Chains A and B, each alone.
Chain A
Amino acid sequence: MKGTAARMGVMKRVSLVFKAKANKALDKMEDPRETLDYSYQRQLELLTKVRRGVADVATSRKRVELQMNQLQQSSNKLEDQARKALGMGREDLARAALERKASAQSQLNDLQVQYAQLQGEEEKLTVASQRLQSKVDAFRTRKETIKATYTAAEAQTRINEAFSGISEEMGDVGMAIQRAEDKTAQMQARAGAIDELMASGALDDAIGGRRDDIQSELDMMAASSDVERELSRLKGEITASAPKQLEGGANGTSQATQGQGQSTQAQGGPYAPPPPAQAQPAGLPASDLPAAEPQDGEGP
C-alpha cells in the first residue's frame, strides 16, 4: 500500500485523503438521506464562517492601513525635523531624527508586504465564499430532488456523488479560512507590537499625541535663538541710548527697557550666553541714575 501511494504522486494522494474524509462522514449516517440534511446544515454554517472570515480579514487590513498612514506621517515628520536640525547646525539631532525615520520606514516596508498578503487573502476568501454559495445552492436543489425521487436504497449513489463533491469544496474552503485566520492572527500580533512601539516613542512621540524629545530640543533651540535675537535687539537699543543717559540724564522709559533686558537674560537659562562685557558699562550708570539724579526718578 505504501509503495502504491509512493508511485501515486502528490496530486492523487491528496485527493484520496479528501475522499477518505468524505466517506468517513457518510458512514456515520443510518439513513443516507439524513446525510443530505446534516451536510446542508454544515454547509450553511461554513458559509457563515467564510463570510465572517472575510470581514475579519477586512478589519485587520484596515487596521494595518491606519498604521501605515501613521508611520508614513511619522517618517515625513522626522525628515522635516532632520532638515530643521541641520539648518540650525545640529547634525547630532538630525542624525537622531533620521535614525528614527529609518526605523519607521522599515516597519512601514514590512507592513506593506503583509498588507498585500492580507489583501490577497481577502480576495481569495471572497471568491471562495461566492463559489461555496453556488455549490450550496446546487446542493440544496439536488437534495430536494433526491429526497422526492428516490427511496433510501436508490438514493445512496446519488447522495455519495453530491456529498463527495460538496465535502471536497468544504474541506478546501475550511483550509482557506484557516490560512486567512493564521495570517490575520500574525498581522494582529504585529500590529499590536507596532502600536506599542509607537506608544513608547521609539519611532516618534508626536504620533502618539505627545511632544517628542527631538521636537522639544528643536523648539528649545528656536526659543533660545529668539532670546538671542531679542537680547541683541535690546543691547542695540541700550548702546544707542546709553551715551544720552550719561550726558543728558535718563528717563523712566530707558530704565524700564533695561529692566526687561536683564530679566530676559536671566530666563535664557543654559542656552543664553553669559552677559557680554559691554553690557556692564551700560547697566552701571542706569542703576546709579536714581542716586545721581533723584529729581527725575520716583524717589521719596
Chain B
Amino acid sequence: MIVRIQGEGQFRIDDAATAELNRLDTELEAAVNHNDEAAFSAALDGLLAQVRAQGSPLPPDTLEPSDLILPHQDSSMDEVRKLLTEDGLIPG
C-alpha cells in the first residue's frame, strides 16, 4: 500500500504494518475530535515515525495515487481539520 506524508513524498508500506498505523490514526482522529493538542502531536509524530521506519520511499518519477495521506510534520490541529473538508487546504 502507498502512503504519502505531505511535504515528504510517498512510501510503500507492507500491509502487515497497517494495523499499527490504523491504531495511531484512530488516536489522531480522537485527538482532533477532542481538541487535545498534546495527544494530537503525539499521535501525528508516532504515525509519521512509523511510516518513515516501515516504508520505503517511492521513486520520484512514479505517478501512482496514494491509498493514505498523512498531514505534514508540523501540521496544527486546525490545518488537519481543514484538510478533511474538500474546500479546505488543498489548492485547485
Contact = CB atoms under 8 A, between A and B. Distances in A.
Interface residues of A, number: 40
B65 A168 contact: yes
Contacts of B45: none
Interface residues of B, number: 37
B64 A165 contact: yes
A156 B87 CA distance: 26
B68 to A, nearest CB: 4
Interface string B29-68: 1001000000000000001000000000001111111111
A174 B88 CA distance: 13
A9 B23 CA distance: 9
* Interface residues of chain B: helix, strand, loop or mixed (majority): loop
B61 A10 contact: no
Contacts, number: 110
Interface of A: 6, 9-15, 17-22, 25, 124, 128, 130-131, 134-135, 137-139, 142, 161-162, 164-168, 170-172, 174-176, 178-179
Contacts of B63: 135, 138-139, 142, 161-162, 165-166
B60 A14 contact: no
B60 A131 contact: yes
B60 A134 contact: yes
Given A10-B25, A135-B61, A170 B67 contact: no
B87 to A, nearest CB: 10
Contact of A21 (B29, B66, B90): B90
Interface of B: 3-4, 6-7, 9, 21-22, 25-26, 28-29, 32, 47, 59-72, 80, 83-86, 88-92
Nearest to B33: A6
Query: For A128, A174, A175, which residue has the most chain B Cβ atoms within 10 angstroms?
Result: A175
Given A172-B7, A175-B91, A15 B66 contact: yes
Given A9-B22, A10-B29, A164 B65 contact: yes
A138 B60 CA distance: 9
A128 B22 CA distance: 27
A10 B28 contact: yes
Given A138-B61, A168-B66, A174 B90 contact: yes
A178 B92 CA distance: 12
A175 B89 contact: yes
Nearest to A128: B7
